[in-house]
Chains A and B, each alone.
Chain A
Amino acid sequence: MVTVMDRPSTDQVWQWLHQIPDPEIPAISLTDLGIIRDVAWADDTLTVTVTPTYSGCPATSIINMEIETTLRAHGIDKLALKRQLSPAWTTDWMTEEGRQKLEAYGIAPPQPAGGPKACPRCQSDNLERLSQFGSTPCKAQWRCRDCLEPFDYFKCI
């Protein structure tokens, strides 16, 4: 039972959330993705505000479940998950750490120019787009013309 006196700090909660992997791209965490918008206590109830990446993203309900499971395991029993649509999620909210983890995982991180900067495998910039959509709504399919490997590009929105 969490009381106002011994409730964990919001910084602590952010750290716990930082440990939860994205269900579809487990290389990065929910906080890397920038979809956790706020963590706040009101008396003994913790409110976590989450924004969806895409309105049809099937991972949204799993993400909520994982947040709930993780925080309950840390003893937080009064928990409210709030969905926030506006301002709409943007890849600008992805952390620098998240972008590096994506690239190391083989997914080119989002670029303002609208296409990947370099092949995540060989760093070549000789690239071509195969399809505007990839294995999830948030990605597109590209291919490196030098190493010939296809790869996912995290779309910039």
Chain B
Amino acid sequence: MAAVDQNALLQFLLRMGDNTLILGHRVSEWCGTAPALEEDIALANTALDLIGQTQLWLGYAAEVQGEGKSPDDLAFLRDAWDFRNVLLVELPNGDFGQTLMRQFFFDAWSSILMPRLANSSDPRIAEIAEKAAKEVAYHVERSADTVVGLGDGTEESHQRMQAALDDLYPYVGEFFLSDETDAALAAAGIAPDPASLRAEYDAFLERVMAKATLTLPEDRFAHSGGRNGKMHTEHLGHILTQMQWLQRAYPGNTW
């Protein structure tokens, strides 16, 4: 493995772990309230996989950081400005269609990235990605099927899915905005340049949206500020108040 700036590596791991942590928390909000029992179970299981992946990413992040922190410390004791997730994952769940559209956008990205990360020059990243790739393959099969089923469904479900697509698509571009951190990791063979995943991602989205009878917006405007930590949406702070309150109110409390 080529030498890489440890701070760049840490930023990358936080980006990976914060994406799965925040999305996992969001998806878990459906537990007990999804429209059908099967969907409830499926969403809870997806959330569980995402939180499991978070433990691996943030576990490695904590090691690289070298301050003796645990993955739980990183999850529960950082404030909004220290999070590096893309804005997409912190958006409110909306209706079931919006949740599944967001999930598909994320799963599609993850399903393209993980097999590449499984060849990372960093063996720790490679083994986490190898494990996650199997779970993600399953997630994307389900979220793509559901997007197709609801898009090419009733008039009501079609309209809702088109609205979800229009609302959420401006948050997709942030996945592919490369910066200096990404350049350092790509040069060291640790992770691919995010921009290099875009063509495959676009082709995948076009295939699924065509089957779902949905129209992809032409405008490529991209909201950003999450993965570089410059500006999150107001929603992240609200998630953290709920997710972190126990550790904030009772520091160090354990099961």
Contacts and interface: CB of A to CB of B under 8 A. Distances in A.
Q: Do A and B come from one complex?
A: yes
B138 A55 contact: no
Interface stretch (B40-48, B95-103, B244-252): B40-48
A131 B38 contact: yes
A55 B41 contact: no
Contacts of A87: 130
B38 A54 contact: no
A86 B126 contact: yes
Interface of B: 38-39, 41-42, 45-53, 55-56, 123, 126-128, 130-135, 138, 141-142
Interface in A65-82: none
A57 B49 CA distance: 7
A134 B39 CA distance: 10
Nearest to B128: A85
A136 to B, nearest CB: 8
Contacts of A155: 138
6 contacts: A55-B128, A86-B126, A88-B133, A132-B142, A136-B45, A141-B38
Nearest to A58: B48
A137 B48 contact: yes
A69 to B, nearest CB: 17
Main SS class of interface, A: loop
Contact of B38 (A58, A85, A130): A130
B142 A55 contact: no
B134 A157 contact: yes
A131 B142 CA distance: 9
B130 A55 contact: no
Which 9 A-B residue pairings sit nearest by Cβ, starting from the closest?
A: A56-B52, A55-B52, A131-B38, A86-B127, A56-B48, A133-B42, A85-B127, A133-B45, A56-B49
Contacts of B41: 131, 133-135, 141
B38 A55 contact: no
B38 A88 contact: no
A87 B118 CA distance: 11
Contact of A57 (B38, B52, B56, B138): B52
Contacts of A132: 42, 138, 141-142
A131 B130 CA distance: 25
A157 B126 CA distance: 18
Contact of A56 (B39, B50, B126): B50
Interface string A123-144: 0000000111111110001000
